[in-house]
Amino acid sequence: MEQFLQQLINGISLGSIYALMALGYTMVYGIIKLINFAHGDVYMLGAYIGYFCMTFLKLGFFPSLLISMIVCAILGVTIEKIAYKPLRDATRISVLITAIGVSLFLEYGTMFFVKPDPRSYPPLTGFLAESYSIGNLVIRAKQILIICITVILMVLLQFIVKKTRIGKAMRAVSLDRDAAQLMGISVDRTISFTFLIGSALAGAAGILVGIYYNSINPLMGMMPGLKAFVAAVFGGIGIIPGAMIGGYFIGLVEVMVSGYGNSMYRDAVVFAILIIILIVKPSGLLGKETREKV
């Protein structure tokens, strides 16, 4: 039982990180129907920016988090403007291949500058380095930190999407782009804003995974990126609460498989879940069936 609770806590911490990334995937997919393969690499860059802020600029965790989110947001918008915007009317396959190109460019460009060897994150200090034990259960302060930051960001995101003008524009564009344009919504600005928010969340996820696992490398975004996408598909792509549920689910599954089975199988299990979901209910957990019209 204790072991189960321990795994549950680890799973929720990891799931928070997946959920943050899945949100970016799901929002971008919802608005321009693109699997943004470069999203995992924005997350990687977020981790590196956090690393440089904390190691070389000697900043604390919270300023680093903020800087990392801002830089990633700018980066996300830049990527969108350079690589995706000229392809607004191109086929989906062209945009997808462009996304793969951006991803390769970011991964190997980063590798060229920072060298491929993994780097270890600076240890946290003060109250963030502590851990609390209840019986045999160990809860580390950084796990609480990860969960709290994720929840705060999600609440913030819900507020932006549901209550602000730009959030309303985002919902409108994802529902029907042409109609939104006719209503006077600037579609390009709304799409850029979506990339901005998604990339900021990925940046936050990057720095959180840095403090959680302590080790970062230029290719770290590939696998988690794909898994976060699985999470988004699981919850129903384009649906924000679905991405949150999916993220936590994938995180829990992964930790449980590693804890009770063989940690080498965790990727296989995640992809098996993906294939099963796609075959059984392609629209995802919260998605609605859509019919194809001729």
Partner 1 sequence: MEKFVKTSSKNVRWKASAVKWIVLILFYAIIQVLISTYIINDYIFSTFVTVCINIILAVSLNLITGFTGQFSLGHAGFMSIGAYTCALITLRYSTQFGFIGGLLLGAVLAAIVGIFVGLPTLRLKGDYLAIATLGMAEIIKILFRNVLEDITNGAAGLSGIPQFVNWTWLFIFTAGTVALISNFINSSHGRACISVREDEIAAEAMGINSTKYKVMAFVTGAFFAGIAGAIYSSYFYFISPDLFGFMKSIDILVIVVLGGMGSISGSVLSAIVLALISTYLQSFPELRMVIYGVLLILIMLFRPQGIMGSRELSLSDMKKWVQGIRRKNGGIA
**Do residues 118 and 54 lie in contact, with contact meaning Cβ atoms separated by under 8 Å?**
no
**Do residues 216 and 210 lie in contact, with contact meaning Cβ atoms separated by under 8 Å?**
yes
Q: How far is the CB of 94 from partner 1 (least distance, A)?
A: 5
The one-letter code for the residue type at 206 is: G
- Choosing from 8, 52, 55, 108, the residue that interacts with partner 1 (CB under 8 A) is 108
The DSSP H or E segment spanning 215 is strand 215-216
The one-letter code for the residue type at 282 is: P
Q: Of 61 and 229, which CB lies nearer to partner 1 in the complex structure? A: 229
Q: Of 151 and 223, which CB lies nearer to partner 1 in the complex structure? A: 223
Any contact of residue 169 with partner 1 (CB under 8 A)? no
Helical ranges in the chain per DSSP H: 2-32, 39-55, 61-79, 92-114, 141-163, 165-175, 177-182, 187-213, 222-235, 240-260, 266-280
Any contact of residue 278 with partner 1 (CB under 8 A)? yes
- Choosing from 111, 128, 161, 187, the residue that interacts with partner 1 (CB under 8 A) is 111
Q: How far apart are CA 2 and CA 135, in angstroms?
A: 9
Q: How far apart are CA 92 and CA 236, in angstroms?
A: 19
The one-letter code for the residue type at 153 is: L
Any contact of residue 264 with partner 1 (CB under 8 A)? yes
Any contact of residue 274 with partner 1 (CB under 8 A)? yes
- Choosing from 123, 189, 275, 281, the residue that interacts with partner 1 (CB under 8 A) is 275
Any contact of residue 279 with partner 1 (CB under 8 A)? yes
* Residues whose CB is less than 8 angstroms from the CB of residue 212 and which lie 6 or more positions away in sequence, other chains included: 13, 14, 17, 142, 143, 146
Any contact of residue 289 with partner 1 (CB under 8 A)? no
Any contact of residue 83 with partner 1 (CB under 8 A)? yes
198-227 residues in contact with partner 1 (CB under 8 A) are 222, 226
Q: Of 182 and 264, which CB lies nearer to partner 1 in the complex structure? A: 264
137-166 residues in contact with partner 1 (CB under 8 A) are none
Q: Phi-psi bin for 291: left (phi > 0), alpha (psi -120 to 50), beta?
A: beta
Q: Of 148 and 268, which CB lies nearer to partner 1 in the complex structure? A: 268
Q: How far is the CB of 36 from partner 1 (least distance, A)?
A: 11
β-pairing verdict for 137-140 and 215-216: unpaired
85-104 residues in contact with partner 1 (CB under 8 A) are 86-87, 90-98, 100-104
Task: Kindly compute the dihedral angle of the four CA atoms of residues 112, 113, 116, 117, in this order, to the nearest 10 degrees.
Answer: 160
Q: How far is the CB of 17 from partner 1 (least distance, A)?
A: 20
Query: If binding means CB under 8 A, how many residues of this protein chain bind partner 1?
Result: 46
Q: Which two tokens stand for residue 191?
A: 């799409």
Any contact of residue 26 with partner 1 (CB under 8 A)? no
Q: How far is the CB of 231 from partner 1 (least distance, A)?
A: 12
Interface ranges with partner 1 (CB under 8 A): 33, 35, 83, 86-87, 90-98, 100-109, 111-112, 116, 222, 226, 229-230, 233, 262, 264-265, 267-268, 271-272, 274-275, 278-279, 282, 292, 294
